[in-house]
Structure 1
């Protein structure tokens, strides 16, 4: 959820085939898809060699730098990539698509729908999934900070006197990156693929060159080497796993971006280039440390000759910006999904491309992320220190993905119970081990992403529950006055009719909207044509245009219309209404909305502080008219008080 989540916002998800007004989708040839996948999917995991081994052998972890330990750690890294990424994500989880979409929010929707007949289990899964999404926000703060900072730290290797410039240069790069978000990413996205191809080729070549310095590092390819390291050191090996997991950061992106590229290009690029390049580079770094233990200061940049340092600093910085961009854009995409699934308040979403609906920009998220990223860079000060904070967010999301996948495999795919349990327990033990190892770093920085996750979880859980309670209350109030009998009595009194079309939004298609009652009380008129509109959101990414709008005719030119969206659809109410076939003149159409004022009570529902938090969020929520893309000069809002 996670669902990056998804870098699709940067790449630009093509218009859905069932969406009117969008360009017809075109699936590029496999080489083009593979190149695009390299630029979008692998930025995060591809830049992990910048800091992983340096963090593992940080003196604070207590692991001595010697030949046996170096070979053992490299073996653990290579086989972690093999088991967690290749087997878990590429082989298994890429199959768990929600109508072609991936990511933790899509997985959550799929898992929840698979147990729809079990309300308590579904409620529990929603809570677990929301926590996974919340941890992804913590990941989206740490990734830009540690990635760009680790790249710029190459200045210390090239020229030690430049050390004082590392933090300022990092901040300038990050602030520039976030300020560019409002312009969209179509232009810069075109160069991502070729840059990452160059990056992985360089990783592989420099790894092979350095392996010749100590061929003994090839022993790391034996899985029993890593196992022997764990048995020999036990507690220290457990501690080291908290840093080894840094080599897996970005694995969620493989799943999150499945909707844009498809599983085949992601598998092709992983096995064809990314995995071999990463493995060779880690082996090369290990060989370098065997030959020159003094290279531990920065084993990645020490792989290169002096003349290549400045070009590599530039290339590394570009690669880390790509990694950061993917996570930032993925956060926008996940935020949009969470809003439409009812887990976040409405926020302003800017579509930065007229052709590609996936390119979005969420200003509120952008500036909040920037503030948190700057705080992380200033607070931690180095990529090694940030490494302690990074692992908890990553492993927490991976663990939750494994749990959700079990319910998909068992209840949606109906696989054999024992097979589901065996596969899940196998990956669960690995993920839980990594997560537990990172909990040891709670006081060294692990608290930071957990704090972010806790705050986001509180917001999402409170909004989701409060919104559910408010809609239930609205349905109860509407249900006490059924629509059709009320309308029949109203029309029997022959109320004064005025020209034009009135559209009343209602949470319950069978109940009387509060805005209609208020309008009749204050204005004492009824428009010539009256339409009651209910907007539903389904737990699927896309709703075909043929199923988007349903129309039911009532008496005297009155209609009920239900409009259904998926969590990846672009919400545009006027466009959907045009597809109803009723014909709308925008100059003669008025939209009547109810703006609720929540009154917290002690009777039932949530704790009082959560109800007050929900009331504050609802008061400051984004304009519903803007969210539905209603013309501002045709909207009439009528107030209502709702007790929860």
Structure 2
């Protein structure tokens, strides 16, 4: 009896240890952004632009708005509902978009609209995401001003040093660094948030009444329509909520939910309530309630801990940017970029130099241009409110298509959430002249580039196909008078498996030989994270094969490695040392006379195409086994 139960108990113990580890990881990564919001949320709410007086009713009304925003937007919408909309275990707006598209007719107007809305949401997410490192680190370092006003001049230089160092280390394997630092920092950070909050609440337990939603209703009643604009500050408490869904694939729904309900939510609310209690006790503390309630001896340690916590939050944003960029590349929305794998143990640990340095330049520009966390808060939230609204719309589409048992309550809930999102959007819309234009403008620029690349690739394929020769009719005619056959295998990459690849025609024209084995290879990316059937082979006779390699959008398209598995499904045997890859490199020329896109978008696509990373590197094709043949295409 005892011996038989021991392995079961051991497995249960191992599962609990694994769950705890994932919960700690989720606290550090998933909740890094939202976990640093107490640094600036209440402070921003009492900034002069909102005109709030730190009196009893205003403080309780504001805290009630923060509490119910966290409960409805984060706890209910993201943690409880949206986490159920997983695309084979993966989350994020890309996953939500592909789920919504999967259940409408391919190529239909509905699929097009869902794609446009989803990509616009992803672009806006990035537009607000680059503000997170700037505002978080700035808010943490601004604690130096509480220590001594003379340290004001050091805030910007210290912030820049921290941010540059953070972006500089991305090229290295940060897994061990993150494991050793972020776990303890996350646990200590949320513990300190809770302790500080409890210490202040004990002085003014009156603030506990803020959990009553009547205080939020009374706030709107007293401030009338002008009261809605305070949501422009309240949204700072829920920024990072969408990261809960984005990181679903890394941690899983159960660890995320447990970390939120047992640690993150209680710590956040205790701290917000504590800041409110401090303001009730000393209205002058409203200028920086996070730091002003701390004893003098604890200020410097808290500033160091806060900076470490904001580095943790910024790291989550940066790695999230890499992950979203890789997904967008796989789905064909951005040009190929150089992707470096920084960990030999974790294939999801990637580094994309173009994304890293672009984000660094933007973040540094934001710090220098805005100069303070309060100024950045004016720019923060506009794009986020639009992204939250798009998430709700896509959630309703997915619920209607996939959840027949749950949609009877999810769809009415989506209507309520949509009204909340619209209220946040209206409140943040007035920020546009004060700096909110920046993330929106950045989002629009990125959206234009994403859609131009997608549309341009479609036009490019159409032009190539227009001039193509049907493969099934060409090969029989070729074999009537075949050229000289040479040993080895030739792999011709083509986007359209029904026509003769240009590289094959050029090879025949210039080299006048035919290999013993000829593979016409098409690589497809599916709208699911992982492919369950990787290889489809069609034998055409006379040593010709059509091969389709299918990768999920979360997978690395390693073509040579995948081709080695063809012997398992047919008699095609590939010797890596006797295989040559032939690739056609298109040179795109913008032409105003052709239908398609406006000439400026044609030129933009041509520039993006020229600067895209080589296909060989993206597909992991060895350079010494590659032959590239050029062709010019007008679009």
TM-score, scaled relative to structure 2: 0.95
- Give the corresponding residue for 2:270: 280
- Between 597-606 and 142-151, the greater mean CA deviation after superposition: 597-606
The 2-side partners of 1:322 and 1:29 are apart by 21
| Residue 488 (structure 2) pairs with residue 500 (structure 1) | yes
1:253 Cα deviation (Å)?
1.2
Summarize the alignment of residues 27-426 of structure 1 with structure 2, pairs less than 5 Å apart.
Answer: 29-117=18-106, 119-190=108-179, 191-414=181-404, 419-426=409-416
The 1-side partners of 2:202 and 2:165 are apart by 40
1:359 Cα deviation (Å)?
0.2
- Give the corresponding residue for 2:509: 521
| Residue 625 (structure 2) pairs with residue 639 (structure 1) | no
Partner SS state of residue 549, structure 2: strand
- Between 134-143 and 94-103, the greater mean CA deviation after superposition: 134-143
1:102 Cα deviation (Å)?
0.3
- Between 515-524 and 166-175, the greater mean CA deviation after superposition: 515-524
1:525 Cα deviation (Å)?
1.0
Partner SS state of residue 560, structure 1: strand
- Give the corresponding residue for 2:529: 541
1:117 Cα deviation (Å)?
4.8
Residues 90 and 529 of structure 2 are in contact (CA less than 8 Å); yes or no, is this contact kept in structure 1? Answer: yes
The 2-side partners of 1:317 and 1:404 are apart by 36
Alignment RMSD, CA only?
Answer: 1.4
| Residue 525 (structure 2) pairs with residue 531 (structure 1) | no
- Give the corresponding residue for 2:428: 438
- Between 59-68 and 333-342, the greater mean CA deviation after superposition: 59-68
Larger relative contact order, structure 1 or 2 (CA cutoff 8 Å, min sep 6): 1
C-alpha distance 28-505 of structure 1, shift in aligned 2 (>3 A): farther
1:189 Cα deviation (Å)?
1.5
Residues 37 and 193 of structure 1 are in contact (CA less than 8 Å); yes or no, is this contact kept in structure 2? Answer: no
1:26-46 superposed Cα distances (whole Å, 9 cap, x missing partner): 996211211121121111000
- Give the corresponding residue for 2:612: 621
The 1-side partners of 2:434 and 2:215 are apart by 29
- Give the corresponding residue for 1:566: 552
Residues 399 and 407 of structure 2 are in contact (CA less than 8 Å); yes or no, is this contact kept in structure 1? Answer: no
1:342-364 superposed Cα distances (whole Å, 9 cap, x missing partner): 10000001111112111000000
The 1-side partners of 2:551 and 2:127 are apart by 28
TM-score, scaled relative to structure 1: 0.93
- Give the corresponding residue for 1:14: none
- Give the corresponding residue for 1:6: none
Residues 43 and 326 of structure 1 are in contact (CA less than 8 Å); yes or no, is this contact kept in structure 2? Answer: yes
Partner SS state of residue 242, structure 2: helix
C-alpha distance 202-416 of structure 1, shift in aligned 2 (>3 A): closer
- Give the corresponding residue for 1:577: 563
The 1-side partners of 2:407 and 2:355 are apart by 41
The 2-side partners of 1:571 and 1:126 are apart by 23
The 1-side partners of 2:428 and 2:201 are apart by 30
1:619 Cα deviation (Å)?
1.2
1:118 Cα deviation (Å)?
6.7
The 2-side partners of 1:117 and 1:626 are apart by 31
- Between 284-293 and 218-227, the greater mean CA deviation after superposition: 218-227
The 2-side partners of 1:117 and 1:521 are apart by 38
The 2-side partners of 1:311 and 1:206 are apart by 13
Unpaired segments of 5 or more residues in structure 2?
1-14
The 2-side partners of 1:449 and 1:116 are apart by 33
Residues 63 and 236 of structure 1 are in contact (CA less than 8 Å); yes or no, is this contact kept in structure 2? Answer: no
1:628 Cα deviation (Å)?
0.5
Residues 533 and 562 of structure 1 are in contact (CA less than 8 Å); yes or no, is this contact kept in structure 2? Answer: yes
Partner SS state of residue 337, structure 2: coil
C-alpha distance 107-588 of structure 1, shift in aligned 2 (>3 A): same
Residues 409 and 415 of structure 1 are in contact (CA less than 8 Å); yes or no, is this contact kept in structure 2? Answer: no
Residues 40 and 193 of structure 1 are in contact (CA less than 8 Å); yes or no, is this contact kept in structure 2? Answer: no
The 2-side partners of 1:556 and 1:355 are apart by 43
Unpaired segments of 5 or more residues in structure 1?
1-25
- Between 270-279 and 600-609, the greater mean CA deviation after superposition: 600-609
The 2-side partners of 1:136 and 1:333 are apart by 13
1:419 Cα deviation (Å)?
4.1
